[in-house]
Structure formats: structure tokens, C-alpha cells
Amino acid sequence: MKLRVVVADDMSSMLRHLVSLLETEFEVVSTAENGKLALECIRRYAPDVAVLDLRMPILNGIEVTREARKLAPSPAIVICSVESDPDIIEAAKRAGALGYVLKLHANRDLITAVKSVAHGKSFPPHNRANNMNIAELFVPFSSTMNRDNPAEMTNGEKPRGTLRRLALQATDSWEKNIPRKEGEN
């Protein structure tokens, strides 16, 4: 029997992308575009796993995680976010999330993360979680990075503005390449 999954993300193109990834191996029983609806879906469908965006309207992913962990049965939680700040990742873990996947690595990591958390294992594994640092993506450009251009931050800093722009560019690309059902925009 396939694992049952609820997916929540406030960006509809990202939500479609995550669902298309997950449907290859799991039964996606419901989707939501805000935290309140995500919690309602979790209560109604009692999924094995919930994949939640961190920053959603009404309730964020951490708030949904806290509330979902109080339910019986309680789903395993994977947070899927652009945020790589270790404090945010730790806050998600403290709230009860077993998994944390960067959206930039969703194609590579999300299915493994869902399988891991469904079996009570954390994702990424402890040794990899300690080394999660989005700045590694920018290492090849470190010799040309400067403070005058926000897209070219120095290697040791957290390029949040840059990361958001990259995520939006990636989402635009996904939106153009995701197959649409007839009648969908």
C-alpha cells in the first residue's frame, strides 16, 4: 500500500511541482495553499506524512507541525522550504518535523525524505543536517562576489535575498514546464 501524503505550499506552481514529484511513489490525498487548510486536510485525511512549506499564510509550517503532532494518529512531517538558516531548521525539528528539504533540492531529496520520516527516521540524516548550508551553492562564484550586487554576496554570508530570487526564477521555470490538465491556466 502506498504512503498517504498531504502537501501544502502557498505558491500554486510549487505546489503542483511537489505533487507531481510525490505522485510518482505516493498517494497524495490532499493539497492546501495555506497553513489553516493544511491542518484541516491533516485532520480529515489522516495522512502518513505531511509535506509543508515553511512560510504560508494564516499558519506557518512550524505552527502546523506543532498542531499536527498533537493529533492521533499524527503524521510524520517534512518541511520543504527555501530557508537554510540553521536556527529555522532547528525550530522545525523542535516543533516535531522529522524532515527538512530545501526546495532547491526537492527533485533530489523529497521522495527519500518522505520515505525516511514515514519510517521514523530523520532527514537529512544527522551527519548531513549539520552541514546544510545554502552558501555552498555560491562557492564557484566567490572570487567575483561583492556587496554592491546583492546577487553576488560573499561566500560566508547567508544570501537570503539572492536565494529568494533564485527560488522565484526556479518556480517560474517549473511553472512553464509543468504539464497542465485541460482547462488549467
76/36 Cα distance (integer angstroms): 18
The burial of 27, by beta-carbon neighbours within 10 Å (0-12 exposed, 13-18 middle, 19 or more buried), is given as: middle
Predicted TM-score of the model (pTM): 0.70
Q: What is the pLDDT of residues 82-140, one digit of tens each?
A: 988 889 999 999 999 999 999 999 999 999 999 999 999 999 865 444 444 443 333 33
Ranges of each domain in the chain: 4-129, 134-177
CATH node for 4-129: 3.40.50.2300
Distance CA 26, CA 3 (A): 5
